[in-house]
Every structure is written in C-alpha cells, then in structure tokens.
C-alpha cells in the first residue's frame, strides 16, 4: 500500500462514491478504481462492498481509512521537518579541501561565517589524486578540488563551481642565480633538481610539460605533496618547485617567478552533488566560497605577484 491508495480509501469513506472521489482528486473514476484494486491486493480481507449501486467501505476498510488519517498526519509532519531542514540557515555543512586550498580558504570562510545564524561548518582536509575528488562528494556537502588547465573535466555526477584559475610559478631560494630573472623558461629550469608531487596529483603533469618543452628529462629529487613543506625544502636549497601563486603561504626565503612557454595554471573548483544544493545552508557556503576566492586572489596579487 502507498499514501495515494490510502487517501483514495479515506476519501471513499467520506464522500461515498467512486465518482465523487474522482472529482475531488481530479482524476478519472477508472483511475480511482485501479488504486482501490491495487490496495486490495495487499490486504487479506475485503475493504469495500456493494450497497446497491454504491461502493462502500467494509468494517476493515473503515478501520484502514481511519488509520490513513494518522498516516497522512505523520507524512505531513515529515514533510514539514524536511522543509525546515532544507531551509534552515544555520544547518551543518561539511567542507573538504586539498591541503593548500584548505589553508587558503578555511580561515577566511570561518571568519565570514562567524555571525549568529550562519551555517555551522565541519572542515576536513583531503589530499587526493584528481580522479578521487568527485567520489568525495558522497561524504561531504562541498569539496574544494583542483585540476590543471588541460586535465579532463570533472564528471557530470558532480556539479562544479569555479573559484580560481591560479597561476603556477617556479619557487626558488632568494639567493638562487635564477631569482634575479623576472621570468623563467623551461630551458632555464630544466637542469635544476626538482621537488614535485607524488604520481597522480595534478602538478606533476606541468613538470612533464617543462621537460618536453626543454627537450630533456628533468631530475626529480624529492616528492612532497604538502606545499608548506615544499617551501621549506626549496628555502634549504633542496631544489626548485612549482608553487601556486595565490594559495601558497609566502616564505621569506623563497621567491616565485612566472614560467613562460607552459600552460602553468590550475583550476580550483568546488564540487558537490546537485541534491546537496537544495539546502539553504549549503547554498550560503557556496556563495561565501566565491567571495572568499576573490579575497584569496586579491591578497595573493597584492603580496606575492612576481615582478613583470
């Protein structure tokens, strides 16, 4: 049995005829009769009987019709509860992000959502390969992810909202001979020892592009995913690296220089399953993430853009 069938039975008990029920529910009498037949199949005793030309409820039918009132009342309460949950402005919202994205976005997001009545954030760091970001939307309301310019687009199972298209610069120690140059080419840096990410992570493809453009294979000295650790290793003379211009924290012993001749950018997007955005709190956090992205861009531009 289902809600519609129970409602038909209840209306039949109150209105007294299939025709009257059909008019009340704005369907045909045959549709009402079909619903009654389907309901009867799930009940072991007769629910209706003929009284002359009229179809009336049996005692069992009347008992079930009375119970239907409670069912409809419970369902109405459930719908109201769902509506309240969906429209609640201060609902809980879980947000996951890769490490440098988390460092850049999470503090700003927390400050923007500090006023009473704002969504309640649950923040998580997830450092995964590009193809593993979309599955995270099963576990989190919003997932801040990154991919390179020419990487495959995100699958249609996830809705993507663009936040930033961020340049990737070459990170050098401040006293490195190449630090005096305002811009670098693949040939400039191909002979340097490199610090890069583990296999499967977005930045690695750009290192391979540097190698191809320079016409020789680059030496990968260290594999480190955490940007803050990369900066420390660069500062200590461990090699050069690609670092994001806006979301990496400035290091006093490291300079960033643009890399010419390579499409060295990454997209930072926020992914979510479409149904998650039905909640008002999730939509609020999405809006604040877009505002936060503008702050990240402006702060990075003011503090860390390399000389032109």
- CATH number, domain with residue 34: 1.10.10.10
Do 288 and 256 have their domain in common? yes
At 202 the pLDDT is 66
Q: What is the pLDDT of residue 301?
A: 47
Looking at the structure, tell me whether residues 106 and 78 fall in a common domain: no
Look at 150 and 281; give whichever has higher pLDDT: 281
81 vs 101 pLDDT, higher one = 101
Residues 26 and 119 in one domain: no
The residue-averaged pLDDT of 86-112 equals 94
Query: For residue 119, what is the DSSP state?
Result: P
Please indicate, yes or no, whether residues 51 and 152 belong to a single structural domain of this protein: no
- pLDDT of residue 50 exceeding 50, the answer is yes
Verify that 53 and 136 share a domain, yes or no: no
Using a pLDDT cut of 90, give the percent of the chain over it.
63
Among 37-46, 130-139, 146-155, 196-205, where is mean pLDDT lowest?
196-205
**End-to-end CA gap in the chain:** 72
Q: What pLDDT is stored for residue 306 in this prediction?
A: 40
Residue 193 reports pLDDT greater than 60? yes
Domain carrying residue 110:
92-304
Name the domain boundary from 63, 87, 111. Answer: 87
- Same domain? For 153 and 234 the reply is yes
Contact in structure between 6 and 64 (CB atoms under 8 Å): yes
Task: Decide which of 42, 68, 87 is a domain's last residue.
Answer: 87
Q: Can you tell me the distance from the alpha carbon of 209 to that of 215, in angstroms, rounded to the nearest whole number?
A: 10
pLDDT in tens, 254-307: 999 999 988 889 999 999 999 999 999 999 999 999 999 999 998 764 333 443
Find out whether 54 and 16 touch, Cβ atoms under 8 Å: yes
**What pLDDT was estimated at residue 300?**
66
Residue 139 shares a structural domain with residue 48 = no
- How far is 11 from 7, CA to CA, in rounded Å? 6
Is the pLDDT assigned to residue 108 strictly greater than 90? yes
Query: How many angstroms separate the Cα of 272 from the Cα of each of 127, 165, 291?
Result: 17, 19, 18
- The span from the CA of 303 to the CA of 1, in Å, is 65
**Long-range interactions of 56-61: CB distance < 8 A, separation 24+:** 56/12, 56/16, 57/9, 57/12, 57/13, 61/9, 61/12, 61/13
Together in a domain, 78 and 167: no
Same domain for 166 and 77: no
Query: Are the C-beta atoms of 134 and 142 separated by less than 8 Å?
Result: no
| CB-based contact 195:134 (threshold 8 Å) | no
Other beta carbons within 10 angstroms of residue 143's beta carbon come to 28
Instruction: Enter the tokens of residue 157.
Output: 């199972």
Question: What percent of the chain shows pLDDT beyond 70?
Answer: 97
Give the mean pLDDT of 30-34: 92
Mean pLDDT in residue range 8-36: 90
pLDDT of res. 285? 97
pLDDT at 84: 76
pLDDT of residue 303: 35
- 80 and 112 in a single domain? The answer is no
The SS3 call for residue 149 is coil
Mean pLDDT of 60-64: 92
> Domain tally for the chain?
2
d(Cα 137, Cα 95) in Å, to the nearest integer?
10
Residue 81 scores a pLDDT above 90: no
pLDDT score for 68: 87
């Amino acid at each position: 049995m289902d809600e519609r069938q129970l409602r038909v039975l209840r209306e039949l008990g109150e209105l007294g005829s299939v025709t009257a029920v059909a008019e009340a529910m704005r369907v045909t009498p045959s549709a009402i009769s079909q619903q009654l037949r389907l309901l009867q199949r799930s009940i072991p005793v007769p629910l209706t009987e003929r009284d002359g030309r009229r179809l009336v409820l049996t005692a069992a039918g009347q008992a079930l019709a009375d119970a239907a009132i409670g069912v409809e009342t419970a369902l109405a309460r459930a719908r109201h509860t769902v509506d309240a949950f969906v429209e609640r402005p201060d609902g809980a919202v879980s947000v996951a992000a890769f490490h440098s994205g988390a460092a850049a976005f999470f503090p700003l997001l927390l400050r923007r959502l500090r006023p009473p009545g704002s969504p309640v954030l649950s923040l998580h760091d997830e450092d995964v390969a590009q193809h593993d970001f979309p599955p995270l939307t099963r576990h989190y309301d919003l997932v801040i992810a990154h991919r390179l310019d020419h990487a495959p687009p995100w699958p249609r199972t996830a809705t993507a909202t663009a936040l930033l298209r961020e340049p990737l610069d070459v990170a050098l120690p401040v006293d490195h001979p190449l630090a005096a140059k305002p811009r670098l080419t693949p040939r400039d840096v191909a002979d340097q020892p490199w610090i890069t990410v583990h296999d499967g992570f977005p930045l690695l493809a750009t290192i391979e592009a540097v190698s191809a453009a320079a016409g020789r294979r680059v030496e990968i000295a260290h594999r480190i995913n955490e940007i803050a650790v990369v900066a420390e290793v660069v500062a200590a003379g461990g090699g050069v690296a690609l670092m994001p211009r806006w979301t990496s924290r400035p290091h006093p012993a490291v300079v960033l220089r643009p890399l010419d001749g390579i499409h060295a950018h990454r997209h930072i997007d926020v992914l979510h399953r479409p149904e998650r955005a039905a909640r008002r709190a999730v939509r609020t956090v999405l809006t604040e993430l877009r505002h936060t992205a503008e702050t990240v861009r402006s702060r990075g531009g003011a503090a860390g853009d390399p000389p032109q």
